[in-house]
Amino acid sequence: MTDSSQPQLTSGNVGFSVVDFVATITINRPEKLNSVTQDMSDDLVLAVEWCNTADTVRAVVLTGAGERSFCAGSDIRQLDKYPTPWDFRNRVDYCDAIIALRKPIIAAINGYAFGGGLETALSCDIRIASTTATLAAPEIKLGWIGGGGMSSFLAHSIGQSNAAMMLMTGDPINASQALAWGLVSELVEPEDLLARAVAVATTIASRPPIAAETAKTNLRAAFNLPQDQAIAYERDLQTICFATEDALEGRRAFAEKRPGVFSRR
C-alpha cells in the first residue's frame, strides 16, 4: 500500500514517502553533508508531526541522502542569524519533534552523524549504521555543547565514561566502536542499509500498533522511573493494551493459527 497524501514540505531538501505503513523521511542535501537549515528543520518537524497523526503510518525510517553523510547537524553558517542566544534557545528544533513521536522510528545512519546529526540519530528508537558511518559530538571544538539531548542520550546509550570521551574531546568514533559501545544496534554494508532499516520498520509495523506505541512509551519510562514505579507503570500499560480490540484479535488469531489483522483500536 502506498499513501498518496503527504505533508506539504517546502524546502526541497526533505524527502518523504509512505509504503506499507512505513514512512521514510530523507534529509536530502548531500552536497552540504545533509546539514540542516531552518527551512529543512521546519519540514522535518512537519513530516514527523504528520506521521504522528496518520493512520497510514505505523513506523518511521529516518536517513540521509547519499553515502557520505546521515546528517552533519545544523548548518553552522546559519546560526549567527539568531538575534540573541535566547532566540537560538527557543527555536523550533527537529530533534524535539522526533523525541515526541509516539510511533517507533529507526535511524539508518549512512556516513557522518555529527553534532545535531548524532542527536537526530539518538532521538530515534533504533539505530542501524553503515559500516562506513562515523559519529561525533564535535560542538566542544567550536565553543559550545549539544542542546538536543546529546549528553542524556549518550550517557544512557554508552555509559558515563564513553559519553565523556565523546563529549569532552569532540573526536569521532567509527562504526565498529559505535557498535561495541552499544550506540548502534547493528552494522550493514552501505548498499544494504536502507533496505535493512525498512525491513525492521516493516516488522514493527506488522505488530499491533497500539502495543508498539505503548512499548515505546514504556521503554522511555523504564529509563526515567525508579524500578518499582517502572514495573507498576508497565503493568498499568499492559492492562490498557489488553483491553484493546487489537489484543482480542491477537488472541483470536493465535487460537485460529492465522496472522492477526490489526486496526489500531
Cell numbers representing residue 164 in the block: 565523556
Residue 2 has pLDDT above 60, yes or no: no
Q: Which CATH number is 40's domain given?
A: 3.90.226.10
> pLDDT tens digit string along 19-75?
999 999 999 999 999 999 989 999 999 999 999 999 999 999 999 999 899 999 886
Q: What is the pLDDT of residue 148?
A: 85
Chain-wide mean pLDDT for the chain? 92
pLDDT, average across residues 152-165? 96
Query: What is the domain extent for residue 142?
Result: 14-205
Residues 6+ apart with CB under 8 A from 127: 106, 107, 109, 121, 183, 184, 185
217, 194: one domain: no
Shared-domain flag, residues 152 and 250: no
- Residues 47 and 17: their CA atoms lie apart, in Å, by 10
Name the grid cell of 35.
546539514
Q: Based on the fold, state whether residues 41 and 110 are members of the same structural domain.
A: yes
Q: Name the grid cell of 247.
A: 489484543
Q: Which three cell numbers stand for residue 60?
A: 518511521
96-121 residue pLDDT tens: 999 999 999 999 999 999 999 999 99
Residue 184 dihedral angles phi and psi, to the nearest 5°: -125, 160
Strand spans (E) along the chain: 14-19, 22-27, 59-64, 69-71, 105-109, 112-114, 126-130, 134-136, 173-174, 186-188
Asked whether the predicted pLDDT for residue 79 surpasses 80, the reply is: no
**pLDDT surpassing 90 at residue 204:** yes
170 & 55 share domain: yes
Q: Is residue 262 part of a domain?
A: no
**How many domains, the chain?**
2
- Whether 82 and 53 map to the same domain: the answer is yes
pLDDT of 1 > 60? The answer is no
Boundary-marking domain end, from 189, 205, 221: 205
For residue 106, tell me if it sits in a domain. yes
Considering the domain architecture, whether residues 47 and 157 belong to the same structural domain is answered as yes
Lowest mean pLDDT among 13-17, 66-70, 75-79, 135-139: 75-79
Q: Looking at the annotation, which residues are catalytic?
A: 119, 139
Give pLDDT, residue 49: 95
Among 84-88, 181-185, 232-236, the minimum mean pLDDT is found in: 84-88
Kind of pairing, strands 112-114 and 134-136? Answer: parallel
Confidence of residue 78 (pLDDT cuts 50, 70, 90): low
- Does residue 75 form part of some domain? yes
The pLDDT tens digits for 137-156 are: 999 998 988 888 899 999 99
* Packing angle, helices 245-256 and 209-224, rounded to 10: 120
Q: What is the CA radius of gyration of the chain?
A: 19
* C-alpha separations of 159 from 100, 114, 155, 166, 232 in Å: 23, 19, 5, 11, 26
User: What distance in Å separates the CA atoms of residue 241 and residue 259, rounded to the nearest whole number?
Assistant: 19
Q: State residue 213's pLDDT score.
A: 96
Same domain, 92 and 214: no
Per-residue pLDDT band for 248 (boundaries 50, 70, 90) equals very high
Q: Give the Cα separation of 87 and 78 in Å (integer).
A: 13
Give the pLDDT band of residue 238 (cuts 50, 70, 90): very high
Q: Is residue 8 part of a domain?
A: no
Count of other CB atoms within 10 angstroms of residue 183: 26
50 and 172 within one domain:
yes
pLDDT at 182 over 90: yes
Any idea which of 2-11, 19-28, 248-257 has the lowest mean pLDDT?
A: 2-11
Q: How confident is the model at residue 82 (pLDDT cuts 50, 70, 90)?
A: low
What CATH number is associated with residue 243? 1.10.12
pLDDT at 144: 86
**184 and 247 both lie in a single domain:** no
